Amino acid sequence: MEEESLREHTQRELLNSTENLTMSISMATGVLGISAPGSRRAPELDSQNPEELKEFLEEFEKLTERHGLTTKEKAKMVVKYVDKEMKKFWKRLEGFGDDYMVLKRKIIGAYLKTLLENKPTVAKLVKLVKKLAKGNIADEKDLDTYYRKFWIVAADLVEADIINKKQHNKYF
């Protein structure tokens, strides 16, 4: 009888230590092995920088697709990777907890004005060219600065088929 009790005790101890280990691993890696919010590999978005929304959503989708989450699981989990302000807002949007694609459309719609303001336009490119044409490009450093600023706007316009390569070169 005493031997049986010792065996049961040993089994309980082993089970408890296994459960503790599993809980520790789960806390370190997040649900289903997904990067835990705030960890180095986790996507994150700050409410002060909504212009990074598209990149955040792409990273979140890659992460959740690698781990096979359903649309419902994604719709619950996405708020774990944003700050408190966004979390409160997103939880009130249609699709939260039910359908990630509906929630994603609502999120993008809520930030559309901000996203459009940061979108490159031909007018922004012309303004940049005129502004920098007025200033003197005195040395190679000034030319490099102009080139980088120009390239950021112009390359996005070419990629979006708003201007072609010939127009790109003409504006430069």
Residue 109 has pLDDT above 50, yes or no: yes
Q: Read off the pLDDT band of 96 (50, 70, 90).
A: very high
Residues 150 and 112 in one domain: no
- The answer for residues whose C-beta is within 8 angstroms of residue 78's C-beta and 6 or more apart is 60, 90, 100, 103
Residues 113 and 153 in one domain: no
In a domain, 155, yes or no: yes
Residue 14 has pLDDT above 70, yes or no: no
pLDDT at 76: 96
Domain of 127, in residue numbers? 122-171
Residue 69 has pLDDT above 50, yes or no: yes
Residue 70 has pLDDT above 60, yes or no: yes
Q: What is the mean pLDDT of residues 28-37?
A: 66
In a domain, 139, yes or no: yes
Residues 67 and 113 in one domain: yes
Residues 66 and 105 in one domain: yes
In a domain, 7, yes or no: no
pTM of the full structure: 0.53
Last residue within a domain, chosen from 102, 117, 132: 117
In a domain, 32, yes or no: no
- The answer for residues whose C-beta is within 8 angstroms of residue 161's C-beta and 6 or more apart is none
pLDDT at 57: 94
In a domain, 24, yes or no: no
In a domain, 26, yes or no: no
Residues 82 and 147 in one domain: no
Place of tokens 């004005």: 113
Last residue within a domain, chosen from 79, 102, 117: 117
157 vs 106, higher pLDDT: 106
Q: What is the mean pLDDT of residues 132-136?
A: 72
- pLDDT tens digits, one per residue of 110-127: 887 666 566 777 887 888
Is residue 82 left, alpha or beta, with left meaning phi > 0 and alpha meaning psi from -120 to 50?
A: beta
In a domain, 102, yes or no: yes
Number of structural domains, the chain? 2
Last residue within a domain, chosen from 117, 133, 148: 117
